[in-house]
Amino acid sequence: MRCTNKKKRIVAALLASVLVLPLAGCSAAPALENAFEADRPGLGVTASLDGGEGISYFAEDLCVVDENVEAIEADTSEALAACFFDMDSLEVLYAQNVHDRMYPASTTKIMTALVALEHGDLDAQATVSETAVTFHESGVTTAHLKTGDMLTLRQLLYALLVCSANDAANVIAEQVGGSIEGFVDMMNEEAARIGATNTHFTNPHGLHDEEHYTTAYDMYLMFQEALKQDLFREILETPVYETSYLSADGSQVEASWSSSNLFTKGEVTVPEGVTAVGGKTGTTTAAMSCLVQLFEDAEGKSYAAIILGCSERAILYQEMQSFLSSLNN
């Protein structure tokens, strides 16, 4: 069917409105190089010419930034990328190199948990395979799972996010995705769905791979999506998780997993009136020290703080703390 002149004018107006959207702030879609090009999924404008709901934007409920921002004073000089976003007002308070590709280390497990929570059965039992507990790297953090151990997906998620267990990540992948490779495909599909277009995963745990990368902004997109899952936040708030599960011979295994997050453990303090709700750590030689963290102020407003590629773990927490002085002003 041919369009009427009236419909043609409406379409032209819609296209023009896209071209003049502001390029910074938190409520408009940006034109970004190497991250959110206009032809990538998620940034299109949808509209009804027949009296529908009208225009909706992919980023209408997201913080959006295409350049460095310093609306608050903060010191992230030892990090490769950092950002601090007000998740309620959608204000970008601080952003440095947020669209640069980085290695995420175990912050990868935010996406692992998101996919598992969206597609898995929390009460389903998983049996640990030999493949899931086999690593070629030394010093890999695990929950000390053994071949033949049987745990629920819920237990595995606590191991994944509390003590950052890489063996738990593999078991989750095999249970939910049918295989590690199949689950990684699901991770990449989910990244594309939520607009994390400068991200590519090759595994569910974050151990180093040249083709396994993300950006600080993409990590924000994953984090805010995962926070829609109540259990995700509940696990992040847990300093120690104690549980029991069956081993291959049918005996009970008693486990106690402690948080890898120094804010959650209470070993790093925050200003009065600020709450360090929870977050996900990540450390490898290539990625250095990383942290994705949720804070709340005295009024209950939420803030996402992300630092990737910090030179040392102690400095990472100092730089995180530098974001927080603005919350009491």
Q: Could you read off the pLDDT of 92-117 as tens digits, one per residue?
A: 999 999 999 999 999 999 999 999 99
109 is catalytic: yes
Mean pLDDT of the chain: 87
Q: Which one of 17, 56, 106, 325 is the catalytic residue?
A: 106
Q: Does 6 qualify as catalytic in the annotation?
A: no
CA-to-CA separations, 217 to 73, 280, 304, in angstroms, rounded: 19, 15, 11
| 164 catalytically annotated | yes
**Which domains are assigned to the chain?**
9-57 (no CATH), 69-101+263-328 (no CATH), 105-258 (3.40.710.10)
pLDDT for the residue numbered 18: 39
Residues 279, 262: Cα–Cα separation, whole Å: 10
**pLDDT for res 14:** 40
Residue 58 is predicted with a pLDDT of: 59
What is the distance between the alpha carbons of residues 66 and 9, in angstroms, rounded to a whole number?
31
| Alpha helices, DSSP H, located in 84-147 | 109-119
Of 7, 109, 146, 179, the catalytic one is 109
**CA 222-83-302 angle, 5° bins:** 70
pTM given for the model: 0.84
CA distance 90 to 88: 5
Bridge partners, 256 (sequence order): 242
**pLDDT higher for 49 or 303?**
303
pLDDT per residue as tens digits for the range 267-317: 999 999 999 999 999 999 999 999 999 999 999 999 999 999 999 999 999
Question: Which one of the listed residues 164, 259, 289, 322 is annotated catalytic?
Answer: 164
165: Cβ–Cβ under 8 A, 6 or more apart, which residues? 141, 142, 143, 145, 159, 257
Q: Which two tokens stand for residue 8?
A: 């043609």
